[in-house]
């Protein structure tokens, strides 16, 4: 196959490209320039896609003996990822920019351009496995290395784009193994630190980035009774479940820690309360993506709402309008943990924010994905059922 290998400048993408070459594919390397300021320097292990990363990607391509190009996708990235990030926070939601980048850039813009140029597939350094059946049907599964698994952020791509994607690191036993392989191949990025946090917030100061872009929007921090317990410079800087950085002027009467329960951007208000108020028994998501037939109502699965969060047992109900509702943990009721259960430990979820990605699994297999729009507490779910 003719394969376009996305080279970020890191060790994972370099080894993935090397494995694609070993597999006999005709490989071409491309580095996506995503920053609107091309001269941006990488800050320690934060960020990616800097001028340094482009140079590292070129050197990796030279070692592998493959052609190398740089494609400027900064405008698309700014418009679909950064703008979405700002709009979601301004609306009181918590987006995952890695999910949006995979959705709009890596497996949309990049893949579409690759196909238009006659390539058969795109290869990346993501940690996830693709299982291909005899009939050609492809499934997205968790990586062999659970600690590095990235199926959560890839789930948004959908089955059509999965059919044109290669993840050669899916069976890698560990990141240490990948680094050792890179060193054995003579790749200079073998010891390069991993990038982390949000790539376009190179200094790691997400609140500062939001404040610079969205401006000062002062408001009140209130408790569950509506009593003012603090102030803020922008509700957009808070997310459901947050504990640190609240700067509350009045402690809770019982002295217990308080967490962000909700963000109300129109009122410029942040509501805080005790940890137990973060418990979630039902999650509704929209824009559902399915990898196969839509599950019948009541299907057992596990769900995950954070990239490295623990999977939780659930029951799923999908609607014709593209929404999906899951009842989790004890709220799932009716036999979770019995026959047909896909795993999980019966716990509920805590601190789920609108805008997060909800991914459904059957064992290691990705069943589907959606974007969280609403949650219901255990008490709220019990009340709803009592009045049903």
Query: pLDDT tens digit string along 323-333?
Result: 999 999 755 65
C-alpha angle with apex 44: 69 to 13, nearest 5 degrees?
35
Is the pLDDT confidence value at 7 over 80?
A: yes
141 contacts 130 by C-beta, under 8 angstroms:
yes
pLDDT value at residue 4: 98
- For the stretch 29-85, pLDDT in tens is 999 998 766 545 555 444 556 678 899 999 999 999 999 999 999 999 999 999 999
100, 104, 105, 106 alpha-carbon torsion, rounded to 10°: 80
| Bridge partners for 123 per DSSP | 5, 166
> pLDDT value at position 45?
45
For residue 228, pLDDT over 60 is answered with yes
Question: Rounded mean pLDDT of 307-315?
Answer: 93
Is a pLDDT exceeding 50 seen at residue 126? Answer: yes
Of 44, 31, 114, 42, the closest CA to residue 74 belongs to: 31
Return the active site residues.
101, 199
Tokens found for residue 340? 């047909």
Contacts of 266 (CB under 8 A, 6+ apart): none
d(CA 75, CA 80): 9
**In which band, very low, low, confident or very high, does the pLDDT at 212 lie, cut at 50, 70 and 90?**
very high
Residues 6+ apart with CB under 8 A from 309: none
The helix/strand/coil state of 22 is helix
Q: What is the mean pLDDT of residues 256-269?
A: 94
- The structural domains of the chain, ordered by start, are 2-191 (3.40.50.620), 216-273 (2.30.30), 278-386 (2.40.30.10)
Higher pLDDT, 204 or 238: 238
In sequence order, what are the beta bridge partners of 365?
Answer: 141, 362
pLDDT, tens digit (0-9, with 9 covering 90-100), for 105-125: 999 999 999 999 999 999 999
The single residue listed with the structure tokens 């970020």 is 8
Six token digits for residue 155: 């789930």
Reported as a single tens digit per residue, the pLDDT across 83-93 is: 999 999 999 99
Query: DSSP letters of 371-382?
Result: EEEEEE-HHHHH
- Residue with the bigger pLDDT between 271 and 44: it is 271
Q: Of all residues in the chain, what percent are helix, strand and coil, respectively (each to 5)?
A: 30, 25, 45
Contacts of 246 (CB under 8 A, 6+ apart): 221, 230, 238, 258, 260, 272
What is the residue whose two structure tokens read 């003719």?
Answer: 2
Q: What is the pLDDT of residues 334-372, one digit of tens each?
A: 333 333 333 444 467 999 999 999 999 999 999 999 999
Longest Cα–Cα distance of the chain, Å, equals 67
CA 8-11-16 angle, 5° bins: 80
- Looking at every residue in the chain, the average pLDDT score rounds to 90
Which of 172, 131, 245, 190 is CA-nearest to residue 11? 190
């Amino acid at each position: 196959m003719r394969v376009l290998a996305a080279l970020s400048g890191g060790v994972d993408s370099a080894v993935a490209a090397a494995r694609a070459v070993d597999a006999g594919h005709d490989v071409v390397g491309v580095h996506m320039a995503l920053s609107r300021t091309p001269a941006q320097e990488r800050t320690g292990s934060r960020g990616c896609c800097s001028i340094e990363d482009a140079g590292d990607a070129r050197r990796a391509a030279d070692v592998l003996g493959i052609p190398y190009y740089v494609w400027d996708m900064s405008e698309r990235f700014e418009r679909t990822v950064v703008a979405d990030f700002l709009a979601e926070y301004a609306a009181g939601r918590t987006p995952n920019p890695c999910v949006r980048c995979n959705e709009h850039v890596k497996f949309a813009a990049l893949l579409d351009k690759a196909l238009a140029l006659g390539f058969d597939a795109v290869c990346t350094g993501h940690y996830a496995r693709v299982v291909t059946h005899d009939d050609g049907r492809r499934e997205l599964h968790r990586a062999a290395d659970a600690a590095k698994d990235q199926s959560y952020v890839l789930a948004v791509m959908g089955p059509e784009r999965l059919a044109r994607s290669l993840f050669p690191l899916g069976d890698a036993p560990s990141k240490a193994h990948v680094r050792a392989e890179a060193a054995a191949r003579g790749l200079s990025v073998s010891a390069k630190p991993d990038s982390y946090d949000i790539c376009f917030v190179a200094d790691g100061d997400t609140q500062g980035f939001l404040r610079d872009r969205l401006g000062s929007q002062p408001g009140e921090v209130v408790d569950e009774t509506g009593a003012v317990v603090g102030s803020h410079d922008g509700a957009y800087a808070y997310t459901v479940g947050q504990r640190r950085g609240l700067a509350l002027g009045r402690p809770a009467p019982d002295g217990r820690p308080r967490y962000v329960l909700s963000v109300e951007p129109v009122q410029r208000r942040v509501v805080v309360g005790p940890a137990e108020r973060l418990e979630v028994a039902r999650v509704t998501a929209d824009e559902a993506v399915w990898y196969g037939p839509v599950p019948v109502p009541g299907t057992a699965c596990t769900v995950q709402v954070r990239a490295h969060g623990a999977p939780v047992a659930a029951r799923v109900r999908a609607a014709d309008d593209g929404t999906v509702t899951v009842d989790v943990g004890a709220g799932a009721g009716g036999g979770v943990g019995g026959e047909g259960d896909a795993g999980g430990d019966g716990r509920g979820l805590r601190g789920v924010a609108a805008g997060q990605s909800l991914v459904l699994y059957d064992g290691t297999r990705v069943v589907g994905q959606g974007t969280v729009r609403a949650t219901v507490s255990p008490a709220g779910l019990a009340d709803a059922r009592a009045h049903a």
